[in-house]
Structure formats: C-alpha cells, structure tokens
Amino acid sequence: MDTKDTDIKQEPTAPGAEGNDGGFPQNNPAECGICFTLFDDIERRPRTLPCGHTFCTSCLIVLLETKNLTCPSCRVKHQTTTINKIPISYTIEEILRQQKQMLRHYKALASLIPSKNANTTEGLLPSNEDTTSSKEPGTPAGATFTTITPTLKNFLEEQSTSIDSAVDDREENMGQLELYRTHLAKWKQQQDQQMEKMKQLETLNSNDLEQEHCRVNNLIGKGREIVEQMKATQRRIQDITKEEEVGQVIKQACHCMDEDKGWKKKYQELFPDVKTVTTSKKIRDVTKKALMMVDDEAGATEQANQLSDFTRPLMDKVQILLKYINFEELKQMKPDIKKKVEAGE
C-alpha cells in the first residue's frame, strides 16, 4: 500500500517487534483482532493499517484517541490523526458479502427437505448409496461420480425455469425500451427542427424590429429638425422690416413646407411596417401559448396520475403521451384544417 496516498507514516519497529509476538492474535479474518467482533458495514467496517493488519473502525477510533497509534498485532507504530486516513478493506468486505450470500443459499437448499437437523443440508447431498464407480474408458482407476439427488435436481430445474422466465420478461422490457427510445429520438429531432426554425424566424424578425426602430428614430429626428426650421421661419416673418427680405423669407418658408410634406408622406405611408409588426405579434402569441401549456399543472395532473401507475406497461404510457400530444396539436389547428384532420382527409 502506498503510504503517501493515505498520509500514514510507518515508523521503524523495535527489534523483536516483528510478527505477532506480544500482540493480539488474529486467526479469524472475519472478525476484529481487538474486540473479536465480526466486521459489519456500519460501525465496525474493516480498516487495514500499512503494516497489513486489519481491525474494525470502532477499535481504531479508540486507539487514535491515545494519539499514538500502535498496531496491536505487530506493535508497529503509525502516524495519523483521523480515522478517514486509514483505508477501508474492501477486499474483506467483499469476502464477507460472498460468505453471507453462500450461507443464504445453503439455508435455502436445506429448507427444501425436512431434516432432523435444520442447520445442515442433510438430504440434499447424495448418500453413499448414490455414489457409483465409473467404468467408462479413460477414467482413472478408483474415480467415482456423485449423482444428484432428485430433490436437488428438482430445485435446479425450478431455478432454471425461473431464470428462463426472467430472461423472457427482461427481453420484452428491453424491446419496449428500444421502441420508447425510438420515440424519444423522433421527438428530439422534431423539437430541434422546430426550435431551429423558430430561432431563425425570431432572429429575422428581431432584425426587422431593430431596423424599424432605427427608421422611427431617424424620422423623429428629422421631424424635430423640420419643426425647428418652421419655427425659425415664423419668427423671421414676424421680424421682417425691409421689403428686400420678403423674397428670402418666402423662399425659406416654401422650402420648410416642402420638407414637412415629404416627412408627413413617410409618416403616413411607411409606418408601421405591417409585416414586421404582425410577425412579432404572432411570435409573442405562440411563445406565450407554449409557455402556458408547459406551465399548465392542471392539464398535466390527469396525465401524471395515469403515468404514475407502476402496473401499467411502458408502451401503454407512451401511447397515453402520444394521444395527449396529438390532442394538444389538434386544439391548436384552425377550424377548417381541424375538420379535415378529424375526417382523416
């Protein structure tokens, strides 16, 4: 074990400290060598010191409180401050898990046949009478084969049947998932295509709105300039004192009026840009309806109740979703198109 990774330093041992001399013997690998309690996966998880000896977490926490951690088995001193720096022995945990699983199997086998001793598998294993010597060519002398008892054979056949049934069931489930995955891919493709079109349309309309905004700003600026010119011309008319100035003022007034007529024509003919404004209105209405449909908890409640039924097959739930999606699309259609769709035209 690399002590750099665990921040545990192993100090040199004193002469004669190697081995188990003077330490706790650790004969059973399934139990702690200090408290002789079986390891578990909660408070007594096995942890291995750099010297190789394994003890439970609870005992090591007590040893750490002395601030001088010494292996109880080989008396090697280690330097560490927290229990988390002593690694858990996952190998021992896996061995214990396999032992427990094997014990459960033995008990399951023992429960199949009434026995005088419930703690043994008597009756499952063959007796001496069921053991016959093999006489087949090539078989070493003295070799024997053990026959399987009828009860154990029946048990194995039941297990095989159960596995076959489970395999068929899982294959069916996987087929439904494959079909569901196909629907998901199709929905994603449709959504991506629609969102891309919507994005392009929104970008174009946004640019049109920006251009319309700039034109309005320019027209407002030009209108204010014309108004100031007309006000200046009006003041000049009021201040005329010489006859030779009349011609210039009249010329200036005519120019202002021509400018004003041109501005008014643009104002009346060019604004608003009907296409830009109506497209923007449609985009905002569609977006608003889409957001309302997504946020419609009342409409989704009925579907959620049906989809939360764990006993309902997967594809039944998918069909419910498809019907709901088609119904919502049908509601959004125009009346004339809706009638054709309902009639199957």
The pLDDT tens digits for 108-153 are 777 665 544 444 444 444 444 444 444 444 545 444 445 677 877 8
Q: Give the pLDDT of residue 125.
A: 47
Whole-number average pLDDT of the chain: 76
Comparing 64 with 10, which gets the higher pLDDT? 64
Q: pLDDT tens for residues 31-64?
A: 898 999 999 888 899 999 989 899 999 999 988 8
| The pLDDT of residue 306 | 66
Band (pLDDT 50/70/90 cuts) for residue 299 is low
SS3 for the chain is CCHHHHCCEECCCCCCCCCCCCCCCCCCCCECCCCCCECCCCCCCEEECCCCCEEEHHHHHHHHCCCCEECCCCCCEEECCCHHHCCECHHHHHHHHHHHHHHHHHHHHHCCCCCCCCCCCCCCCCCHHHEEECCCCCCCCCCEEECCCHHHHHHHHHHHHHHHHHHHHHHHHHHHHHHHHHHHHHHHHHHHHHHHHHHHHHHHHHHHHHHHHHHHHHHHHHHHHHHHHHHHHHHHHHCCCCHHHHHHHHHHHHHHHHHHHHHHHHHHHHCCCHHHHHHHHHHHHHHHHHHHHHCCHHHHHHHHHHHCCCCCCHHHHHHHHHHHHHHHHHHHCCHHHHHHHHHCC
pLDDT at 260: 92
Considering 108-122, 252-266, 295-309, the range whose residues carry the highest mean pLDDT is 252-266
pLDDT in the model for residue 6: 43
Span 269-296, mean pLDDT?
Answer: 82
- The predicted model gives 159-174 an average pLDDT of 87
Answer whether residue 223 shows pLDDT above 60.
yes
Is pLDDT above 70 for 15? no
